[in-house]
Amino acid sequence: MIAGAAASKRSRQARADTVQPGSRSVPSVTPGARFRELLAGPPFIAADCYSGLTARIVQDVGFPAAYMGGHSTSMMHYAIPDYGVFTSTEMIEIAGRVAEAISIPLVVDADEAGESVASVHRAIRRYERAGLAGVHIEDEIDPKHSVWDGPLLPIPDLQARVETAVNARRSDDFVVIVRSNEFQVDNGGGTGSLDEMIRRAVAAAEAGADAFIPTFADEQQLAAIAAEVDLPLGGYQALISGLQFTLFTGWGVWVAAEAHRRVASHIFEHGDLPPDFGGDFDRRTLTDQTAYDDVIRRWAERTGRPTRPLPW
């Protein structure tokens, strides 16, 4: 029995020491720690994704981090507007699948992270357990971005949510970013006041935030905010002067929806694919197909089953 156990242990160790083709190494540091390293380095872009496959593409292109926005993910998976009806539970479930598919850190739009500070506490713990690098929490009040012309969350309530999120995380590596929509007047709760944006940035820092996103701030406004608060500043589009990072979002789902409509319309009208259809993508790389092929081939050979070459 002892000899058999020793042999089994050696066999398991040998398998553990063997790196299989297509396998991804287990990170030696947390996703949050890797994102914090990015925050401490040169300015960078975390690119838009809404699924495991699109996150793999972002990683394959070479971006150092990925970002899942609430509007993109809710539109792609549920075809609903970004009015706060997309729940934390739904985002956490999808984000966990996405984080599993990549090795670069993933940051997620947590919206308000729930209805109350109790909801924030539970949501942050679940986001962290799902393997994310961090989340951002915003100061909108649901139903946000809708026909209701509501205000932003009062600063004391915002600070309470941020403090709850910071205290809820199990590891200090997990990144809590605060987003303010003070400059989002047309379909947000803001008034456009730079002074109010600065007050919200200072309040976020006092509550323990790791970074701050003043949505739609220009270079001059970023400079004014940076003069009052010592936090990395982020945005959502181009990496302009004053930004340490941008969660470059919105384009992924638009590109996918437009391409799908174009091809679907052509098939509906002509009964076939358009002549300029590009065909298949590199599924072998983007789905780790080689690793699965190797597993199945070893099983077939070990058990005397036949194998065959694949056309892709």
Q: Which residues contact 40 (CB under 8 A, 6 or more apart)?
A: none
Return d(Cα 61, Cα 271) in angstroms, integer.
34
Return d(Cα 185, Cα 84) in angstroms, integer.
17
* The amino acid at 29: V
Q: Which residues contact 77 (CB under 8 A, 6 or more apart)?
A: 50, 90, 94
Under 8 Å between Cβ of 92 and 100: no
* The amino acid at 298: R
Under 8 Å between Cβ of 125 and 152: no
Q: Which of 48, 82, 173, 210 is catalytic?
A: 82
Q: Which residues contact 4 (CB under 8 A, 6 or more apart)?
A: none
Nearest partner of 211 among 143, 144, 145, 165, judged by Cα: 165
Helix (H, G, I), strand (E, B) or coil at 213: strand
Give how far Cα 49 sits from Cα of 53, 58, 185, 208, Å.
Answer: 8, 7, 26, 27
Helix (H, G, I), strand (E, B) or coil at 170: coil
Is 210 among the catalytic positions?
no
**Cis status, amide bond into 214, omega within 30 of 0:** no
* Residue 193 neighbours by CB distance under 10 Å: 13
* Residue 23 neighbours by CB distance under 10 Å: 12
- Report, as residue numbers or ranges, the catalytic residues: 82
